[in-house]
Amino acid sequence: MHIHTSGESIFATITIAKNGFAKVGSISKTKPKNTDSYLKLKVGFALNNDKIAIDLPFNRFYMNENIASKAEKIYRESSIKKKNETYALVAIKNGEAVIKDVRINEVSIKDLAKKIKKYHLKELFLPLK
C-alpha cells in the first residue's frame, strides 16, 4: 500500500472504460515508461491511506468570445436536465491535458452556440435515445 500526502505529485495512467470514457488505470509516484497516456497530478488529500482525491489539470475551456456567453447559457440549461449527457473531449499526452471540446448529447457546444440564433434554446436539446 502506498501512502500519499496532500500536494504530492503523482502520475495517473489513463485508460478507456467499456463505456468509451476515460478513467484512471493506475497511479504511481514515478512517470510511466510504457505509455504517453498519463497525467501528472497533485494529490488533493488522502483518506485512510487507501483512497486519494486528485486535482485534475483541466478546468477551463477556451472558445470564440462571440459565442462563449451563449455556450455558458446552453451548458447551464443542459445541466438542469438530467437526460442530457454532457462531457468534455480531452487530449492527453505526456502528462499534459487540454479540453478540446465540450459536448452535449454528442453535439459540440460550439455548434449549439452558433445555432442559438436560429432556434429557441429548449429546441437545441433533444432527448437521448
Residue 49 has pLDDT above 80, yes or no: no
- The C-alpha angle 93, 98, 100, rounded to 5 degrees, equals 115
pTM of the model: 0.73
Residue 129 pLDDT: 45
Residue ranges of the domains in the chain?
A: 9-55, 65-124
Contacts of 71-79 with C-beta under 8 Å, sequence gap 24+, read 71/102, 71/109, 71/110, 71/112, 71/113, 73/116, 73/121, 74/104, 74/109, 74/112, 74/113, 74/116, 74/121, 74/124, 75/102, 75/104, 75/109, 77/121, 77/122, 77/125, 78/104, 78/125
Average pLDDT over residues 54-83: 85
Residue 25 pLDDT: 93
